[in-house]
Amino acid sequence: MQFNKPLIRGVLQKRYKRFLADIDFGEQQFTTVHCPNTGAMTGCAEPGFIAYCSDSDNPKRKYRYTWELSVNGNNEWIAVNTQRANQLAGTALKTGFIPELANITEWQAEQKYGEHNSRIDWLGRAGNGQQCFVEVKSVTLNDHGQGYFPDAVSTRGQKHLNELILMRQSGQRAVMLFVVMHTGINEVRPASHIDPKYAQLCIQAAELGVEFYAVKTHISDAKIELDRVVRFQLR
């Protein structure tokens, strides 16, 4: 996934009200930008981090710029725009990047499903007609190379796991795909120390046949691309 136009480099001053951040693009001229991330963003949004933003080039938009990337004090790159994870997941699924899912050739994004009229990130169909429901999560919480999800208690994440369990019990394939959007992370596991209910649901889901995969990305100010499949540990 290549950025359409060069990103604008600045220095993060603060993130606030979940969807806003102030960034200095030079000469102490702070600009308020859109933050496309509803999570806690632990370790991703410290004042002084380098921040890269895309420019909508739309003067009518309330916040012209969108925060895309951070670079922390260890020179690790972090993609903070969670929408990018879904795009990269689509590339991984459509190109057979994950061998276990390579037999599925038809993929559609944002399809309605489940008992609560939810939307699945990606819905696939194999040649035998079996459907495959894929929920995508962006992973940016890093602890010495270990990635964790979620970075805060996530009732929404718990709901998604329960719906994947129902899909699996109905005879379809159900997949949780974690996209690592932090270059310092080398494997992923549920954050049992943050959301023990979510972690326990992961174990329950796996026992019932829900599949778990994680892919790592390479990130730069020019593009974000798939790097490799990495280990996902339930415990």
Q: What is the pLDDT of residues 111-153, one digit of tens each?
A: 988 766 789 999 999 988 899 999 999 999 999 999 999 999 9
Band (pLDDT 50/70/90 cuts) for residue 28 is: confident
Query: If DSSP states are collapsed to H, E and C, what string results for the chain?
Result: CECCCCCEEEEEEEEECCCEEEEECCCCCEEEEECCCCCCCCCCCCCCCEEEEEECCCCCCCCCEEEEEEECCCCCEEECCCHHHHHHHHHHHHCCCCHHHCCEEEEEEEEEECCCCEEEEEEEEECCCCEEEEEEEEECEEECCEEEECCCCCHHHHHHHHHHHHHHHCCCEEEEEEEECECCCCEEEECCCCCHHHHHHHHHHHHCCCEEEEEEEEECCCEEEEEEEEEECCC
Q: What is the pLDDT of residue 59?
A: 80
Mean pLDDT on 52-59: 92
pLDDT at 60 over 90: no
pLDDT digits (tens, 9 = 90+) for 201-228: 999 999 999 999 999 999 999 999 999 9
What is the pTM (predicted TM-score) of this model? 0.95
Tokens representing 197 are 């209910």
Kindly tell me if the per-residue pLDDT of 17 is higher than 80. Answer: yes
C-alpha 114/C-alpha 96 separation (Å) is 26
pLDDT of 232 > 80? The answer is yes
pLDDT of amino acid 22:
98
- List, in order of start, the domains of the chain with CATH numbers: 8-79 (2.40.50.580), 83-232 (3.40.1350.60)
